[in-house]
Chains A and B, each alone.
Chain A
Amino acid sequence: MNGTTTKHQIEIKNLWKIFGAQPERVFTEEYQHKSRAELQEELGVVVALRDVSFNVDSGQVFVVMGLSGSGKSTLVRCLTRLIENTLGDIYFGGDNIIQFSSDELVEFRRHKVAMVFQHFGLLPHRSVLDNVAYGLEVQGVDKETRHRKAKEAINTVGLAGWEEYYPREMSGGMQQRVGLARALAVDPEVLLMDEPFSSLDPLIRREMQDELINLQESMHKTIIFITHDLDEALKLGDRIVIMRDGEIIQEGTPDAIVTTPANDYVAEFVRDVSKAKVIRAETIMQEPASVVRESQSPQEAIVTLESQDSKVAFVVSEEDIVKGIVTATIADSLVQSDAPDLKNAIFDNAHMVSAKAILEDCIPIAAQADHPLAVVDHEGRLLGQIDRKDLLVGMAESGIDKVGKYGKE
């Protein structure tokens, strides 16, 4: 990415957008701290974005959530200068796009970003194939290549066989798949999605969300996703910013938003959120009570269990990878059979959950297990443990303070 020193893919710095005449009047000693309503009353200008700053890392799904009028749609349009901001900078892979000439801007829009729109924005006079190929067509890609790439994108979104149909012949959900395919066809670094699923009915919406999650697992694109739906934000987002009246009022992981709302406004939002669907295992996990290495002897395991007054201990390799659990009974039988260490016994009896797993998915596993669950990272390394009590506390309202302690990143 141009070999610059920035480590974030997108950096947004002090972005302001003011609609109305002479917006510079707002940036004076007298006015700059006044509220949106006061500025509208006194200067007749509307502050759509007020000093918005955040960073987006490569491969992240970054959700901007807010109700209508919060400035989220203005924000996403400023990112490609469909709307010109009043003040502030937007760095994209180290380049400040605000400084781009109109030619550079066209190139930027053609190759770096692609956008998916709430109302699809398809071209009614073009077939699905030519709609999807549109981005490549304006780049000047020859017909054969752009149709091949467009077909790939159409297959990716599950519309194979619909190439020759027209948008008017398709349902809303299918039209939005066309919109998504059109964005994917240009293979952008960043996908901007402006409430892409808001105009779809709830069943289709959930289906599309799930498919986006699946797609993202293989694409690893950077996605900036705009929504007014908190459930959608929590479901899709790696990071979330919540906006109100053009300002960011909280930025954090879904966990952090739910467990430690920044103010009453956010708290009111997350009040009805099912915590089990949002909070992840890593948030509520405890330090593992007892851990033994597989290279240790069964006798040592017994000593560890007794000294720590634990019923079970996790057995891990030298790389901290969970191999299983050992109880006093198991250790005793190993001592009987003269085993030198814990290695030879095939344990594989630990119940494990991924650190990223939501509590809802941990419940059935915890129900089967009569020992604490091992919380592991994606390579199987032990990070912590969760017992049934932790699960209940994590989901309970009263647990928020306790959870919050561990919810810090």
Chain B
Amino acid sequence: MLNILLVDDDVEFSDVICHIVEFLGHNINTATSLKEAHQWFENNTFDHVLLDFMLPDGSGLHLLDHLKMIGQSPKVTLISGHPSVKGILADMCEPNVSHLLKPLQREDLELVLNGPKKTVKKAKSAAITHHFDTLIGESAPMQQLYTMIERVAKTNANVMLMGESGVGKEVVAQAIHNASKCEGPLVASNCGALSKELIGSELFGHEKGAFTGAIARKDGVFEQADGGTLFLDEVTEMPIDMQPNLLRVLETKKVTRVGGNRELPVNCRVISATNRSLTDLAQNNILREDIYFRLAVFPIDIPPLRDRKEDIALLAKSFLGQLNDENGTAFAWANEQLKELETYEWPGNVRELRHAIHRAFIMSDPQTSTISLPDNLESPFSRVNTQPEDKQVSAGQTIEEVEKELIHATLDKVQGNKTLAAQMLGISTKTLYNRLNAYGGIGEYK
């Protein structure tokens, strides 16, 4: 906070400047003449003087002489309406004196009072390489991924992206699109989000009057992506009876709008994505084999975040940098915090990391520059996702063991509330107590 003296004979202007300077967090006093300004300096010191050039009893330059005489050297900003004053000041070679031209702007005032805005953090986040303008990471698995993207981008082969939820499949699709330097757009469509009735219209378009509600002709995503890339997310969630239609488009490279009778040429690369494993696809009849081979001409596995932990710090810095830029803050990571982020498994992958950082950003005190990480990084979903494997029933377990596991899992779910747990298990509370007594586990849930 600075102590400022404003010397200007325009009272109305002084009044409004006071409001603005006080809002910027500084103390301000005013003088309307040189005489009043001298009086202020008799018993006070100031960090900064905003000084009008033309005052009723002389020039603002006289105050500069007076300050030298009394041995005070605050920063001085001369305010004048005439550009030639800048030249006079340059001749004076006074390091502490700057100049503002009327009419003033708030940014000018902020600049002379607060100095230029710090851009150190921006430079830091800018130093992180964004491969293909989108991807962050220098680990070995990511280097392999970059090589694959570069190779496939030069061809027009269809790509299937595989990987857990949250690994960044859409970002990789964008990277392939960027690297291929094609002229058309990247059009994304989520096959899992479309109803069975609408998916045909979304993918292939429809003619006016094709069905109730089709009030106008609509281009499908294949047409929209002409000359570019079509990204079909969650392609394995497409109803199996719609898959022959997709296969036909992929094979013939022609599309017919719903309700139409004309075949239109299709000219786009299809990048599809799924979070299901190859075994799942093969065993559970989720995707027809012929479609798989059309879509996965070039399959790419995107590594989960736990397999590239050395990238966590880079990603964390980049996400925090973005939040700082968006909110005008200057939070930074401590090294221990980055190490803590690296110790967690991130079952929700990059998406979970990003959300955890956003949450920590919101919870952090804006008066400090250190971000506050929560004590527990786990999200409820990560717990759910990691637990089922432990809880699976396997051959060789006794009924008693399975029952014990089920009771404990239910009690954990309801935070140890035995009445609620008994209701969920379909037994009486008394039976639950008896079982817990028999297993010797009642102490855990008292």
A binds B: no
* Chain B residues close to A by CB (< 8 Å): none
